[in-house]
Amino acid sequence: MTADITVRRVYDTGPVEGAVFLVDGIWPRGVRKDGLRLDRWARETAPSADLRRWFGHRPERFDEFRTRYRRELDGNPDAVRPLLEAARRGPVTLLYGARDTEHNNAVVLGEYLRERIAAER
């Protein structure tokens, strides 16, 4: 059984399941802070500013971005811990603001969390 972790754009409408985390380092444009149901803004899980700038949402850099970002996550267990704990208890939704639904930090973070929980079982 894998962890129930959903990754979706913050701009998508409709209900979200379980604990909800915004996982971007920058608040998404046009979204009111009081208009978003969040359990936590987990900005400490976002890629470093240097990595984010280097990646620049360029799909051809995504594989290397994934490698570097996972290294950052490995080096920051305190940031990842609340998301892992929530995912162990039930469904989790990771929200992000990027336009690209396939090449973004939330996709990598979701994979990372699922793998960490699967390794525990």
Residue with tokens 């960490």: 116
Q: Where are the domains of the chain?
A: 5-120
Q: What pLDDT sits at residue 13?
A: 84
Percent with pLDDT over 90 in the chain: 87
CB of 28 within 8 A of CB of 97?
yes
Rounded CA-CA distance 85/38 in Å is 16
Residue with tokens 């990646």: 55
Nearest to 29 by CA among 48, 15, 45, 9: 9
Render pLDDT for 24-82 as a digit per residue (tens, 0 to 9). 999 999 999 888 889 999 999 999 999 999 999 999 999 999 999 999 999 999 999 99
